[in-house]
């Protein structure tokens, strides 16, 4: 029977099979072309909007995550418009200030350690954020207001506990006195009624009471550290920034809690060049 079908209607059968194969091939080619066109459309949208997040998402979907941001820099709107921008390479521990393809300034930096810290009912990972950020503000001689993780970290280093001091509350010192707040300061009040201010915060010299590091309230001088962030800071939002340091030996390493550190002499040179709103690409 099959031979009879092929004998009498073979030409028709082979025509149908050939047509089916051609249609299948054309369908695959059309789908491939459609995907390419969509990719080009989304890349153009990313360029016009200066949105590296869009490109990253698209490339991930297409299995193209191997491209580095250094390569993608040629596709950004900042470069196309010949506007200055900052680039930070965490692998190279380098920062570049560029306009177009021209490097206006470069310097070594320190970036996030990637370490994790758990304690005090919290968990933190100290990573420098990747992607596109923006310079949101600028500070000269900035003060650092440490988050809770700083006190947890210090307590771990010294084998101490943690105790929070809330505004207006007191922590007994065990000798008849207390640690409390007064007029925006943390003070030690003695049994005779006299009180002494404990001053501003000093890294590594936090207030210790009965085997616990005291976490001062926000807004007090004890929770304000001067000099830790160096002489200048470019604010990137969410607590991150590009700033100087009181530990210049850390530059060129992955040791920070997420910020990008520079030597004070380098950030002082960069600071007047960079305006608020400048794009920052970190990869």
pLDDT in tens, 92-146: 999 999 999 899 999 999 999 999 999 877 899 999 999 999 999 999 999 999 9
The residue with tokens 């009912």 is 121
Active site residue 93: no
Q: How confident is the model at residue 73 (pLDDT cuts 50, 70, 90)?
A: very low
User: How high is the pLDDT of residue 13?
Assistant: 54
Catalytic residue among 93, 150, 243, 257: 243
Residue entry with tokens 């300034």: 105
Whether residue 59 is predicted with pLDDT greater than 90 in this model: the reply is no
- Please, what is the average pLDDT of the chain? 83
Q: For strand 212-215 and strand 94-99, is the pairing parallel, antiparallel, or unpaired?
A: unpaired
How far apart, in whole angstroms, are the C-alpha atoms of residue 137 and residue 237?
8
pLDDT at 218 over 80: yes
Task: Return the H-helix or E-strand segment holding 16.
Answer: helix 2-49
Q: What whole-number distance in Å separates Cα of residue 131 and Cα of residue 204?
A: 33
Residue 20: band (very low, low, confident or very high) from pLDDT cuts 50, 70, 90: low
Percent of the chain with pLDDT over 90: 67
What is the pLDDT, as a whole number, of residue 120?
Answer: 74
Angstrom distances, CA of residue 246 to CA of 128, 225, 243: 19, 11, 10
Task: Evaluate if residue 253 carries a pLDDT over 70.
Answer: yes
Average pLDDT over residues 224-248: 97
Confidence of residue 274 (pLDDT cuts 50, 70, 90): very high
Cβ contact 230:264 at 8 Å: yes
* pTM over the 0.85 mark: no
**What mean pLDDT comes out for the span 205-223?**
96
- The residue from 93, 150, 257, 259 that is catalytic is 259
What is the per-residue pLDDT for 26? 60
164 among known catalytic residues: no
């Amino acid at each position: 029977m099959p031979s009879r079908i092929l004998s009498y209607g073979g030409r028709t059968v082979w025509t149908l099979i050939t047509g089916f194969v051609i249609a299948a091939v054309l369908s695959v080619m059309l789908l491939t072309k459609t995907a390419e066109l969509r990719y080009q459309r989304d890349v153009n949208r990313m360029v016009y909007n200066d949105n590296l997040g869009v490109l990253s998402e698209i490339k991930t979907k297409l299995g193209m995550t191997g491209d580095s941001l250094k390569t993608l820099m040629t596709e950004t709107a900042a470069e196309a418009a010949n506007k200055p921008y900052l680039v930070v390479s965490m692998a190279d521990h380098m920062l570049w200030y560029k306009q177009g393809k021209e490097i206006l300034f470069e310097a070594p930096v320190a970036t996030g350690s990637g370490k994790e810290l758990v304690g005090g009912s919290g968990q933190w990972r100290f990573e420098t954020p990747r992607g596109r950020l923006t310079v949101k503000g600028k500070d000269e001689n900035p003060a650092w207001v440490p988050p809770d993780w700083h006190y947890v970290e210090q307590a771990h280093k010294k084998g101490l506990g943690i105790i929070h001091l809330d505004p207006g509350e007191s922590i007994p010192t065990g000798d008849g006195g207390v640690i409390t707040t007064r007029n925006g300061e943390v003070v030690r009040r003695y049994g005779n009624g006299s009180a002494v201010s404990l001053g501003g915060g000093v890294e590594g010299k936090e207030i210790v009471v009965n085997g616990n590091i005291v976490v001062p309230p926000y807004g007090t001088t004890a929770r304000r550290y001067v000099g830790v962030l160096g002489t200048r800071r470019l604010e990137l939002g969410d607590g991150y920034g590009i700033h100087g340091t009181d530990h210049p030996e850390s530059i060129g390493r992955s040791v920070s809690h997420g910020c990008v550190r520079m030597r004070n002499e380098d950030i002082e040179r960069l600071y007047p060049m960079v305006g608020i709103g400048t794009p920052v690409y970190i990869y």
